[in-house]
Structure 1
Amino acid sequence: MAPSRMNSTSRLGIGSGKLVVTSMVLIAAILAGVTVWHHWSKGYASIAYWGAANGENIRYAPAVQLKTSGKTFDISMGRGLVHFRQALIEDASFTEVTTEESAQPNWTHEVIFSWPEKTDATIVLFDLNKGLLGLSDHPKVLVAKPEPTASGLTTFFEDVTSTASR
């Protein structure tokens, strides 16, 4: 009797092991699909605003300069640049503004994303007092929302200019 119990237990163990592995692979595939969809949807509106070429420059361009108050700073290796780039391409950071909100922005900062071997660059303009930003060659303006994004931009610019000045 002992051998027959052993055979039924071992068959059950092998079968349930395959079921567990198959279930894990299926769950992993579903979660991977959800992750891809989630990240794609986070940047859909911003890519519609920036465009593919500008979005690529913002995300990957190796040369990044900040112009403010008549001075130019190389911030290509600036602390926080990765997070700054990510904030620019995430939908949750910005919304399109109405005409009244964006009336006469006072662009105080300009960030230039460029590649050494390419002639085109992406120039993003900032009005930190109103929390506005826009492309130099695009008529629509965005507003930094929620508040932590607007104050984060101010902090980032202060940090990179003080570090570059030393």
Structure 2
Amino acid sequence: MSSGKLVVAAMVLIAASLAGITVWHHWSKGYASIAYWGASNGENIRYAPVVVLKTGEETYDISKSRGLVHFRQALIEDASFTGTASIADTQPDWTHEVVFSWPETSETTVVLFDLDQGLLSLPSRPTALVAQPEPTLSGLITFFADASSVDPQ
């Protein structure tokens, strides 16, 4: 009887240890990105049900677009970026804007994109994140091209 209890206790201990390692691993993969975005913006980027892409005069509802889950993940994962750059030094041309929002509240996050320089930023931030050329920037270009190939709103 006691050997069964030991087996169960060992299984629980192993499961708890692995869960702790998993939480630490995922937390450490997005620490710098979430520090840049802030907790509230990071949550909106990851979970907001309404996602709208604006390019020039066109607006697209991309809430159900193919690749949206990967797009969201790329924005909150440190491996997607090489670091930050000064907005004053880079003088970005924000050609794309993505708005993450919750319809039942006024909670929104706007992310600006300069795909030529590979920059992403929140409005009025003095710095921008610099996307890894591969696969992040190339993935953003492909995602925006696919998402804007449908009829605008």
One fold, TM greater than 0.5?
A: yes
Instruction: Report the Cα distance in structure 2 between the residues aligned to 1:136 and 1:120, rounded to whole angstroms.
Output: 15
Cross-structure match for 2:32 = 45
Q: Percent identity?
A: 69
Q: Which secondary structure does the structure 2 equivalent of 1:154 belong to?
A: helix
Aligned-pair CA distance for 1:51: 0.8
Q: Is the 8 A contact 1:109 1:126 kept in 2?
A: yes
Code of the residue aligned with 1:31 in structure 2: it is: L
Point out which structure has higher relative CO (alpha carbons under 8 A, 6+ apart).
Answer: 2
8 Å Cα contact 1:66/1:112 also seen in 2: yes
Letter aligned with residue 128 of structure 1: L
List gaps (5 residues or longer) in structure 2. Answer: none
Structure 1 partner of 2:139 = 152
1:89 to 65, 76, 80: 76
CA distance in 1, matches of 2:97, 2:139: 16
- SS of residue matched to 1:163: coil
Partner of 2:150: 163
- Cα distance change on mapping 1:161 and 1:112 into 2, 3 Å: same
Q: Is the 8 A contact 1:47 1:89 kept in 2?
A: yes
Q: 1:109 to 1:100 in 2, by over 3 A?
A: closer
Cα distance per residue 1:26-63 (max 9 Å; x no partner): 22111111001111111111111111111111111111
Q: How many residues align?
A: 152
Question: TM-score normalised to the size of structure 2?
Answer: 0.88
Amino acid of the structure 2 residue aligned with 1:82: V
Q: Is 1:125 the equivalent of 2:112?
A: yes
Richer in helix (by share): 1
Q: Does 1:113 align with 2:100?
A: yes
> What are the within-5 Å matches in structure 2 for residues 4-23 of structure 1?
16-23=3-10
Of the structure 1 ranges 143-152 and 16-25, higher mean CA displacement relative to structure 2 is found in 16-25
Using the size of structure 1 for normalisation, the TM-score is 0.82
Q: RMSD of aligned C-alpha atoms?
A: 2.1
